[in-house]
Structure 1
Amino acid sequence: MRAAAVILALALAGCAQVPQAPPAASTEARLSGRLSVTVAGTVHNRGSGGAASFELIGDAQAGRLDLTSPLGTLVARASWQPGLVSLQTPDGERRFDDLDALTREMLGETVPVAALFDWLNARPWPAAPHQKTANGFEQLGWRIEPKLPALVATRLADPVVTLRARLDGGDEGTP
């Protein structure tokens, strides 16, 4: 649940920012747009949420996810490759065992970043089984409803986590 609050706090930090990374190679997959994550509250805990612009580069094995504030400041960068997952924020760099550990630490819940590359392209991630539904598919315990250029992914277990993304170039509103 902390992750959405962390994203929101980082987005509002404004003055502090993560150093820019070198541009991605032109052959790397690249997706960008707006992203919001909401973690439902419970009787004992208040829900949380946050939004940022994002750029997702690479693939499930090696890549980078940059989060940018509404003012255009790069506030967080997650990067991964075999044997190394790190998160850079204005407070420094932290390392994690895997992407699940990174998202669990940031959000209090696991978000399948590796699957996002495929989900944002309106298709199931090939590394896990899926089932078709009327509006999309279910995979990894999430209901995926792609309506390009947008995506709504909802984790079916409690607490419910909803990830909304809108890719750049869409003509509808933000997530």
Structure 2
Amino acid sequence: MLWIVGCAQPTSKTVAEEDMWSGRLALQIEGQASQSFSAMFELHGNAQNGVLVLLSPLGNRLAQLNWKDGHAQLQSGQETRTSESLDALLQDVTGTRIPIAALFSWLHGTQTTATGWQADLSGIAEGRLVARRDDPAPQATLRIALTR
């Protein structure tokens, strides 16, 4: 038995396994018809391949987005939709476009530009991220609080 354990090779983590975040997110969209969206979330992967699970405060699954190789799928309740555009499906869930590639960079603590968006990474070491979009209208504010 010890011989078998001694021969076992350590497994190395893939990027998708290492790139995992969870916490709470809130999105406030300003304008004539102001709206807000908030949920707990689990995010795995990167801008090219990943999974985003949105959960209610009680832990019930609200939606799950999966994307890989230019194909995205949204599962919400009994409905499943597919698209070549992750951005379009994410907008369907949240009510506005979120720059997914920039979001992954921001979560890594790297300041990246995204058209119309400004990210405040001053709190990222404490698990806090705030990003604001001024253009195009309507204005939007994304707040993320990571759990560790």
The structure 2 residue matched to 1:166, chosen from 125, 145, 148, is 145
Deviation at 1:99, TM superposition (A): 1.5
The structure 2 residue matched to 1:63, chosen from 50, 66, 70, is 50
The structure 2 residue matched to 1:77, chosen from 48, 64, 72, is 64
Deviation at 1:26, TM superposition (A): 5.1
Q: What does the per-residue CA deviation read over 1:65-91, in whole Å, with 9 as the maximum and x for residues that have no partner?
A: 000110011111011001310110103
Q: Distance in 2 between matches of 1:109 and 1:32?
A: 21
**Unmatched runs of 5 consecutive residues or more in structure 1:** 1-24, 131-138, 170-175
Partner in structure 1 of residue 90 of structure 2? 103
Q: Could you tell me which amino acid in structure 2 is paired with residue 33 of structure 1?
A: G
Q: Residues 10-29 of structure 1: matches in 2 within 5 Å?
A: 27=14, 28=17, 29=19
Aligned partners of 2:48 and 2:70 also within 8 Å: no
Partner in structure 2 of residue 140 of structure 1? 115
Deviation at 1:31, TM superposition (A): 0.7
1:151 lines up with 2:129 in the alignment = yes
State the structure with more CA Rg: 2
Q: What is the DSSP-based 3-state SS (H/G/I as helix, E as strand, rest coil) of the residue aligned with 2:101?
A: helix
**Unmatched runs of 5 consecutive residues or more in structure 2:** 1-11
Deviation at 1:52, TM superposition (A): 0.7
Q: How many residues align?
A: 130
Q: Could you tell me which amino acid in structure 2 is paired with residue 145 of structure 1?
A: D
Q: Distance in 1 between matches of 2:109 and 2:115?
A: 15
Q: Distance in 2 between matches of 1:33 and 1:63?
A: 16
Q: Distance in 2 between matches of 1:163 and 1:56?
A: 15
* Structure 1 pair 101–116 and aligned structure 2 pair: CA distance change class (3 A): same
Q: Could you tell me which amino acid in structure 2 is paired with residue 150 of structure 1?
A: R
| TM-score, length basis structure 1 | 0.68
| TM-score, length basis structure 2 | 0.80
Q: Distance in 1 between matches of 2:13 and 2:41?
A: 18
